[in-house]
Structure formats: C-alpha cells, structure tokens
Structure 1
Amino acid sequence: MLTSLQNPLVKQLRKLHRARERREQQLFLLEGTHLLEEACAVNYPLATLCCTLEWQASHEQLWQQVSQTAQRIELVSPEVLKAIATTVEPDGVIVTAPRKPEQHQLPEIASLGLVLETIQDPGNLGTMIRAAAAAGAEGLWLSANSVDLDHPKVLRASAGQWFRLPMAVSTDLQTVIADYQAQGMQVVATLPDAALTYWEADLRQPTLILLGNEGAGLSPEIAALSDQQVKIPLYPGVESLNVAIAAALMLYEAQRQRGFNPEARSS
C-alpha cells in the first residue's frame, strides 16, 4: 500500500491537476466511482487505478472488472488518495486514463449539435456536455482557447456523459461552421440583441447552435457566420443567463419542435 506523499507515482498523479501536465503526460484524472463506472460502460482505456482498502471491499465487482483492464493497480491510504484528488472529499477511487487524441475531424453531426466558443468555466462546459447528451445532440465542437475538455471539473459536471457525447476541439471554428453549412445545416447564434426569441426560430431542420464566452458572448466573427440569430428573453433587471442554461433551453426547444421522443431514437 502506498502511504507516502513523496512516492514518485503520487507526485506524478498530483501533477495532473494542471493542464500543462495533462498534455505532457497525455493522461487525465477520473475521480470517483460514478465516473469510473461510466468509463467502464463504454470500455474506455484505463491506465492506473488508485483506491483505498475500504473502496475495494465495498466495490468488489467493479474492482474485479477494472483489475482486468487497468494497466496498473495500487492500494493507497486515505491520505494519499486525498492528496491525489482535486475534490475535498474523494469517495475512495481515482483512475488515470489516456487523453483522447486531438480531434480535428468533424464529429458525426447531421441533425443537432453545439459549437462553443471560448468557454472558460469547467462547470459550465461539463453541464453543457451533460445537457447535450440528455437532449439527444449528436456532438459538440469547442474552440481551442476554451477550458480543457478533460479538466477534472468538466468530467465531474458532465455526470459521466463525457464518455458518450462525441466532441472535438478546433483552432478554426469558422471553417468548422462553414463545413456544416456546406452540408446543409443551418447555424443559429444566440445573441442578447437578436430580433427573434429562440422559440420563434424554426429549429426543426438540421441545426448547429452557437454559444459564446460566459462574459463576452460570441465573437463578432463567429456570430456573423450564423444563418439566424435568436435571443432568450429576460425580465428587466436580469443582465444575463448562464451559458449552460442557455444551451439546455436551445437544445430542448429544438427537440420540442421536432416532437422529442427519446425512446424512438434509442430503439
């Protein structure tokens, strides 16, 4: 059992709190039982598993499953686990996993998707991933100057849907958007001063929804590429709406107009 915070592996894993180290090591952290279960459900590759004796004893089936797939297994003391974790009270298990390769190819989006520009808050990004998966979106594009897709808080906020939603990062969202338009998708931008409210737009056709930075919104260059611009109306005195809530409203309005039927899609 690893009990020393000076152990080389412990030092290595603690470095994964930082984006630069995740890029250099090509690893990221999965914290907690739920994320581990979601990773196993889609057979995501696992590198090193660290868990306490208590966790091992209370999750025997999951332990056996991971023992057959992870490259390395280590029992650690609660103090070591807490040092590795980014959360205040880890639930007994942390796993490292290989980063997804830089994805520049187009995700398979033919009906409904998101394009996110300069998103900075990892909780917002994770929530949008979760909302997109829940609403049946087919994929998500993220600008390269946004928070890392595999930031620990993004993983947690996605509630495991990070493993199920196709996602890609691009240094050139303008080209990404133009490619989808060439395939016949309409592009709808969310802007506070748009003439149309979001429920007045026709979202029944294949649609790509553009959402921007938490403070500044969409850049003029990206907004100008849209075929339609819509707003989410607010009562007087309310300055803005959280971008993750805006994403959920847009996605579910599109599906409402289409007669949302998750059962039909899953079958």
Structure 2
Amino acid sequence: MLTSLQNPLVKQIRKLHQTKERREQQLFLLEGTHLLEAALAVDRPLITLCHTIAWQTKYPLLWEHAQQLAERVELVSADVLRAIATTVEPDGVVATIERTSTPAPAFTSFGLVLETVQDPGNLGTMIRTAAAAGADGLLLSADSVDFDHPKVLRASAGQWFQLPMAASFDLQTELSHYQQRGMQIVATLPTANLTYWEVDLRQPTLILMGNEGGGLSPALAAIADQQVTIPLNPGVESLNVAIAAALMLYEAKRQRMRSEE
C-alpha cells in the first residue's frame, strides 16, 4: 500500500491537477466511481489505477474490470487518495488516462460549436446536455478550457465518454468547410432580430455559441447563416451559456421530433 505523499507516483499524479502538467505528461485524471464506470463502459485503457481497500471491497466487480484495463494498479491509503484527488471528499478511486487527439466530429444532423468558453463547469454541463439532446458532437476553439479539466469531466456526469468532441485552432475555416457541405451555421447573438424558435433547425445545423463574458467574436458571428436571440425580460442582461446552449439544443430536438410525427 502506498502511504507516503512523497512517493514519486503520488507526486506525479498530484501534478496533473495543473493544466501545464496534463499537457506535458499527456495524461489526465479520472476521479470517482461514476467516471471510472463511464470509461470502462467504452473500454478506455487506464494508465494507473489508485484505490483504497474500502473502495475495492465495495466495488469488487468494478475493481476486477478496471484491473484488466490498467497498466498499473496501486492500493493507496485514504490520505494518499485525498492528496491525488481534486475533490474535497473523493470516493476511493482515482485513475489516470492518456490524452488523445480526436478528429472533428462527423456532423450530419446537429451539433454544438463553442468559442473561447472558459468555465469548466459550463463546458462539462454543455457536454452532458449535448449528449442528452442527441447532438452529433461538440467542436471547441483551442483557446477554451481543456476538455480534460477535472471539473469538466465531473460536470459532464459521465457523458464525456459518449459525445464525440474535438478542439480546433481555426474554427472559422472549419465552419466554412461545413457550410460548403450543406450545414447551416446558427449563431446566438443578443442583437439578432429572430428568436431561436423562428429558425428552421430541422436541416443539418451547427449551433454556434461564444464566450461567457464577451460572446461570439465578430469574425465568427459574420459567417453564420442565421443569427438568433433568446428573448429576455427587461433588466436581465444575459443567460448562462450552458443554459442558452440547452435551449438551443432542445429546440433543435423538438423541431426534429415534430417533423417525425
């Protein structure tokens, strides 16, 4: 059992709390039983599995499955587990997995495109919502928060492993390519004349949303085929971007369901 916080493995895993270290080591953290189950459901290989004896006793079948997919398995003390986790009260298991680059999602129906989203909780919530609404995937500008930030994974509630996702260094060019393939780009802007339910979202559509504070850049907003707004009562400045994304995604889903009736 690993009990020392000075153990080299413990030090290495603790460094993964930082964005810089996740990028340098090309690893990220998987914390908690729920996220581990989600990873194992898609047979995602684990680099290291660290767990307490209490967790192993509580989840023997999950432990057996995780062992089969892990390169290294370590029994650790409760103090070590708390040290390597980013949560205040971890439930007994932390794993590391490899960062992998993924191609842009194969958008054919509808998807979500995000520019310069900074809050990990917002991104994780939008991943969860996009998966729930049946979106094809999510495309994110490279200057946004990392997909593998611990709070992003937790907020995604396990859907992180279900939704195709990729980061792009040139959203404008990629969106132009999708337009050439027949997809409409619908941007959300507070100054738009159309409300979001007035646009036909039954056709292949990419929903484009911007930064929490500044919204969309003028360059991206300008290439949109349609610009829509979410109406707000007087005195309300804006909606949280994750809430706005949920409205847009479920309006697209609603219109598709209506057209199938």
Give the TM interval when normalised to the shorter protein: over 0.9
Report the Cα offset of residue 260 of structure 1.
6.7
Instruction: Give distance in 2, aligned partners of 1:226 and 1:195.
Output: 14
Normalization by structure 1: what TM-score? 0.96
Secondary structure of the residue aligned to 1:178 is helix
Q: Structure 1 residues 109 and 260, CA, compared in 2 at 3 Å: closer, same or farther?
A: farther
Instruction: Give distance in 2, aligned partners of 1:53 and 1:221.
Output: 54
Normalization by structure 2: what TM-score? 0.98
Q: Structure 1 residues 8 and 260, CA, compared in 2 at 3 Å: closer, same or farther?
A: farther
Instruction: Give distance in 2, aligned partners of 1:193 and 1:234.
Output: 12
Instruction: Give distance in 2, aligned partners of 1:132 and 1:199.
Output: 18
Report the Cα offset of residue 45 of structure 1.
1.2
Q: Which runs of 5+ in 2 are unaligned?
A: none
**Alignment-mate amino acid for residue 20 of structure 1:** K
**Alignment-mate amino acid for residue 6 of structure 1:** Q
Instruction: Give distance in 1, aligned partners of 2:167 and 2:65.
Output: 31
Report the Cα offset of residue 106 of structure 1.
2.9
The residue that corresponds to 1:129 in the other structure is 127
Instruction: Give distance in 2, aligned partners of 1:212 and 1:251.
Output: 15
**Deviation by residue 1:221-242 (Cα, 9 ceiling, x = unmatched):** 0000100000001111111100
What is the aligned counterpart of 1:148 among 132, 146, 156? 146
The residue that corresponds to 1:47 in the other structure is 47
1:51-130 equivalences under 5 Å are 51-101=51-101, 103=102, 105-130=103-128
Instruction: Give distance in 1, aligned partners of 2:251 and 2:74.
Output: 47
What is the aligned counterpart of 1:245 among 219, 240, 243? 243
Greater mean deviation of Cα atoms: 105-114 or 30-39: 105-114
Secondary structure of the residue aligned to 1:109 is coil
**Alignment-mate amino acid for residue 49 of structure 2:** L
What is the aligned counterpart of 2:184 among 183, 186, 192? 186
Instruction: Give distance in 2, aligned partners of 1:158 and 1:6.
Output: 32
The residue that corresponds to 2:214 in the other structure is 216
The residue that corresponds to 2:254 in the other structure is 256
Report the Cα offset of residue 69 of structure 1.
1.3
Note if 1:25 corresponds to 2:25: yes
Report the Cα offset of residue 100 of structure 1.
1.6
Secondary structure of the residue aligned to 1:259 is helix
**Alignment-mate amino acid for residue 213 of structure 1:** N
Instruction: Give distance in 1, aligned partners of 2:124 and 2:56.
Output: 28
The residue that corresponds to 2:10 in the other structure is 10
The residue that corresponds to 2:157 in the other structure is 159
Q: Which runs of 4+ in 1 moved over 2 A?
A: none
Secondary structure of the residue aligned to 2:244 is helix
Note if 1:202 corresponds to 2:200: yes
- Size of the aligned set, in residue pairs, is 260
Secondary structure of the residue aligned to 2:198 is coil
Report the Cα offset of residue 247 of structure 1.
0.5
Secondary structure of the residue aligned to 1:94 is strand
Secondary structure of the residue aligned to 1:174 is helix
**Alignment-mate amino acid for residue 154 of structure 2:** R
Secondary structure of the residue aligned to 2:232 is coil
Q: Structure 1 residues 51 and 260, CA, compared in 2 at 3 Å: closer, same or farther?
A: farther
Percent identical among aligned pairs is 73
Instruction: Give distance in 2, aligned partners of 1:84 and 1:145.
Output: 27
